[in-house]
Structure formats: C-alpha cells, structure tokens
Structure 1
C-alpha cells in the first residue's frame, strides 16, 4: 500500500504525457481510459486548511484513473480509483471512487431511461458528481456552505441503485434522478467529530438512504434549474465504556439551484436548507432538531479564450435560528463564530492547454463554521482570516 501511495501520482503524470491514442486497445471498441492529477498549495493568515497552511502547505493532491467499457449500445461499465491527500481530513487515502453498471432500458429521440447499479455518484446540487476533477469545478474549492470538504465523502457516492429519466423537447429538457443506497463516508472520523464533538469509542454505520434531483435545461444548458432532496440515515454503535448510546442522526438537505451559462458570462446560485434530527444518544447529547441554511452567488467571466475570472459570495449558518451563534456560545462556552461563515472569493483560471490548467484564488472569510475539526482546535480558531490557494491540474 505504501508503494502505491508513493508512486500513483507519479504514474498519473507520466500517463498524462502519453497521447490518448496510446490507450486504444486493439479489438476493444468502446473502451476508454482517462485520468487526472491536481497539486495544490494553500496559505492561511490564521486557522488551518489542508495541512499546516499558516506556513504554506502542499498537502492537497488529487489523482484519479477511470475506465469505461460499453459492451453493448444499452450497457456501460465504469469505475474510478482515487488517491487524495488533504491534510488530516484525507490523509493519503486511496479508495474506489465509483464502480457501476449503466443500463439504458429505454431510448428514443424524445428521451431515455435507465438504471445505475453499484457504487454511484450522488446527484447532489450542480457539482457533486464531478467535484473530484478540478477542470469541472468553478474554483479550486467548491462553495463550502453547500459542498463541504470536511465531510465530502458522505455526500459523494452511495452503494445502491439509481433510476434516471430524460425527456427532450423544443422548449427544454427535463432530467430526473432517484436513488437509494448506503452512503459512503459515514464512518469517517471527521463526521464523528462533527456530530459528537470528538473521537469516540464507537463507530457510525450507514443505513438505507434516499436522494432525488429534478433538473431542467434550456437550449443545451444555457439555463439550468434544479432541486435536490435527500434523506441520509445512519446509526451510532457505542464502544466499550462509551457514554453515548446508540443514537441516530438523520440529515435531510434540500437544495435549489439556478445557473445561466453564456458564451463568456456565467451566473450561478444555490440555496440550501439542512434539516438535522439527532436523537437517541442519551443525556450527554440531548435530542435536538436544527435547521441549517446556506447560499452562494457566483459569477464568472471569460476575459480571454483561455483566461477566466470568478467572483463569489458564500454564506453558511449551522442554525438559521441562531445565525450569530450567540445562543450556541452561551450554552456551550465555545466561540460563536464556529456556527457561521461568510466567504468572499476571487479567482483566476488559465487553460494553458486542453490538458493543463493553472488556477489561483483568494478567500476573505468571516467565521469558522466549515473548518475541519481534525485540523483546528475549537477554542483556537480565528474568526476573521484569509485563504490563498494555487492549483495546477492535468488530465488525459
């Protein structure tokens, strides 16, 4: 395993330098192999983001290799392996990102329908399904109010089945995704720290969960509207001498998305409500219901054919009934800015070649609500801080 972790990123770079035609396998029509590698640098004026970022950190690396094969016109098989290093949140993790069978059982000129079976990416908002590939993200880091990096594995994929249906017409296209399965990432320690306030003796196990997204596109994506809903179920299994009982947190996010994607100007906005129900953990964590609220507004403009600028305002509230965090601070003695975050982001993207991209961005943040507990002590967090990031990314 150590050998794989050491040499996988280097192999990805080497593969990226090989022409795509070198991956064609004689007699294997329909077989495609792709990959990507991203290396980032982060610096923060206070707090930590992906390693010891106060002094500058290179602890942000993503590398993936995916393969797809279409044995028949109606069936496609696809899988992707992912290596990710992101500070203490993802310390040198190598995982199976997705592995699925895509069966299109109905296909006509007016639409199609099918099933996805296996480890499937969750249709969560606008960016979740492709967030691993830097070329598909609007910025180096997605809006943290909705696409949390600290618990990214929880919303990324599920082991189960998804139905998809598409309907095409002259006045727009409709897309429906409905899924049920067992979410990945429930057992991650960052999720445990977020829910229970630290590393505990027990573990979380995923239970059957549900997700759905309905979206509408006009003129091939010029305008896109979507609504996403999910019910995420899991259960805590107490360990030996654990003072928590077998509790069950239930998360029900609801996201409204809108996007205009013109030739040079793109405008995007998403609004989310997170209904969290925590019960059954005992007197050390009383039963509670909390509704979180988030939104962001984002604009990007293609200054030159290969140069794009982006501006975003991103807002996160852990509890919409306590947006200042004062009630939380009074009850717990913890800093109130741990319950909110307001983030101004300015960024640039330069597509050096179709396969190589460079990015830079600056964040001005008020609040620490989406910082990872594994990298930041609660009492030591600074309310107002800056984040600067650079990224170079390759794909093939």
Structure 2
C-alpha cells in the first residue's frame, strides 16, 4: 500500500529525513566491498507536495543514497509527478504521471525511508538491493484508487511505463560499469491491498525489463526480464505482529553471458520471508526474521547450478536469519540495529560473475543506523 509523506489538508507540505549507518561483515564483500566495515551508509531526502487546486497535487523528492558498494553516493529525484484525484463515494480515484515508485509488496514504495520500512536491510528475497534499479523507479503513469470496505480500506494501483536505471545496476549485476550498461525498458504492474486495524493482505504482479549494451566482447547484447507475483500478509494482535511475503515468477535472460543465437535462459525462482515482531514499551521494537531465496525452484540445493557453471552451489540460494531492534527515541529520532546469519549468496553482487574466493557459504553481517526526520 502506498504510504504518502503528505497530508491533503494543506496546500504545501515540506519534510525529509537523514540517516547515517554502519555495516560490518565477515566472509563476504556484500555492501562493505573489500573492507570488513563501511560507514558509507547514508540516506537523505527532502520532499515537497503542493496542491495548487482542489484535485491537483504536484509532488517531488530529491534524495541522496550511498549504500556501501551497492550504491554510489549521488543526488537524484526519488519521484516527481503530477496527480489528479477525485473523491468517489467514501473513496478516492486518481491518476498520476511522471516519475514514481512501484508498489510491489508492502514496502517497495517506502523502502528508502528508515521510518517506514521494518529494518535497515529489507528481506532480499522480495526487495533485492542488487536489482532495485530495474524495478523501483518508474517513468510513466499510475491509475490508483482507495475504497472503504469491511471496516478497512482497499488500495489498488495499475502502472505502466519504463524503469529508470543507473550505473549501480551495471556494477551490481555485471561487476563493473566499464563492461557495458543497462538501458530502460518497459514496466507494467498491478497491485491491490486490503488493510484494517488488525489485518493486511496484498497481491502484486509486475513485468520489468532492462536491456544490456556491452562495451567489449566479454559479454553479448541482450536483456533481462522479470515476471513475478508477490503475495503479502500481515496479522497484528496486542503487541505482536506477524508478516509474511512470498514471491514466485520467471527470470528470462537473452544474451549477456549467452551468444545471441542461443536459446533464451529461463529460471523460475521463489522467495519468501517470515517476520515476527513485538512492540514493547518506550517505543521499542524487537523482531526475528527468516528470509529465503532460491534462483531455480527445480534446483533448490544448487547441484545442477554447480554442475552447469562450475561455481559452488551456494551461489544459487540464500537463507538469512535476522535478529533486530528499533527504538524510537522520540517522534523524530530512530535508532536501529540488526544482525544477519546467512547461508548462501544468490543475491550477493556481482550476480553474473560471483567470486568464491571473496564470498563464503556461511557469512554474517551487522548493521546500525541512526535517523532523523523533520516536517514543516
């Protein structure tokens, strides 16, 4: 469900946040690169929303994100769109056009805001950091609606356009932006969610495609296409919350590592996570989460992958146990910490050319982040 920064009660809304983190990792270069630690975990955004008339809204956010080796620091538009909405009965029907964020699962549209995501590192089985550029930012149009029903609300989106990619995708997938570049291609999706005080359910389908243009003969021109379904559910009772999301679909690859005349490579992967959370006194959250990803559901242990590629089987799957805590010091400050015990490396970069000498089967990661938000 789209969670907006903004209120419709004022013509102008201005707000933002800044967050600084630290990550330490053992037996991996994921996020930290060649070092065991990284302080290059910085996020910031300044957002503005303007309603020049009753049904029209213009919204924009300028963001900065440096996420270790996965994202180089730089300022970019997080979204920039014009929106028309109109009240229909007890609900809203609207359309927006421009640059906006997709609605996959519970957290995609707000994944870069520390206060609206459930942890520092989101479950990589659903919200992969290495492929975020090929899914997150969409240039196009979004038809949406919200309707009151069953003591809750149904929220839906239908989006079409093309993905907005950067050089981060080149490095994370291929290993270096010097080898070639990915280009923006088509994107379309549908998302529907229901939410009330105790329950939240969602269903998303998306089809995202990026093309690849090599700079040298090491790889071939081609494209990557993702066609995925995501089913989401959440139950809240007393101080407890249970969240689960499941993704299944196909990854289709033409070219890149295969000659142009070769058959299209298709693998059908699955990913899911289970998150148990307790909301304690003094605005403290504790959670434990299990996150699982398999590149090919017909090769869950990776033996066929190893026989075909010569790489260790653990590069085809990942099991991640996470223990974490979040503490809202007050309404504006958030301190978060988490520890990951991981087996496997299916979402460790670079995806196309993994290096067993730099990535172990069993590895761990600790993350810490302090964030501050403001609003006028």
State whether structure 2 residue 203 is matched by structure 1 residue 227. yes
Structure 2 regions of 5+ residues with no counterpart? 1-9
Partner of 1:205: 183
Change beyond 3 A, Cα 1:216–1:191? farther
Change beyond 3 A, Cα 1:254–1:170? closer
Partner SS for 1:91: coil
User: 2:300, 2:72 → 1: CA distance?
Assistant: 32
Partner of 2:228: 253
Partner of 1:87: 68
User: 2:331, 2:341 → 1: CA distance?
Assistant: 30
C-alpha deviations, 1:314-370, integer Å up to 9, x for none?
001111111111111111111211111101111111111100011111111111111
User: 2:177, 2:80 → 1: CA distance?
Assistant: 30
User: 1:233, 1:292 → 2: CA distance?
Assistant: 16
Partner of 1:357: 334
Moved over 6 A (4+): none
Q: Which has the higher helix share?
A: 1
Change beyond 3 A, Cα 1:334–1:200? farther
Please report how far the alpha carbon of residue 166 of structure 1 lies from its aligned counterpart in structure 2 after TM superposition: 1.9
User: 1:177, 1:136 → 2: CA distance?
Assistant: 19
2:19 to 38, 42, 49: 38
Partner of 1:64: 45
User: 2:41, 2:172 → 1: CA distance?
Assistant: 21
Q: Is the 8 A contact 1:213 1:227 kept in 2?
A: yes
Partner of 1:371: 348
Please report how far the alpha carbon of residue 286 of structure 1 lies from its aligned counterpart in structure 2 after TM superposition: 4.7
Q: Is the 8 A contact 2:81 2:99 kept in 1?
A: yes
Partner of 1:131: 111
Q: Is the 8 A contact 1:202 1:242 kept in 2?
A: no
Please report how far the alpha carbon of residue 110 of structure 1 lies from its aligned counterpart in structure 2 after TM superposition: 2.2
Please report how far the alpha carbon of residue 71 of structure 1 lies from its aligned counterpart in structure 2 after TM superposition: 1.3
State whether structure 2 residue 338 is matched by structure 1 residue 338. no
Q: How many residues align?
A: 363
State whether structure 2 residue 78 is matched by structure 1 residue 102. no
User: 2:181, 2:139 → 1: CA distance?
Assistant: 19
Partner of 2:133: 153
State whether structure 2 residue 303 is matched by structure 1 residue 323. no
Q: Is the 8 A contact 2:138 2:163 kept in 1?
A: yes
Please report how far the alpha carbon of residue 89 of structure 1 lies from its aligned counterpart in structure 2 after TM superposition: 1.7
Q: CA RMSD in A?
A: 2.3
User: 2:131, 2:274 → 1: CA distance?
Assistant: 22
What is the TM-score with the length of structure 1 in the denominator?
0.85
Alignment of 1:129-208 (within 5 A): 129-185=109-165, 187-191=166-170, 194=173, 201-208=179-186
User: 2:160, 2:65 → 1: CA distance?
Assistant: 26
Please report how far the alpha carbon of residue 93 of structure 1 lies from its aligned counterpart in structure 2 after TM superposition: 2.1
Q: Is the 8 A contact 2:318 2:342 kept in 1?
A: yes
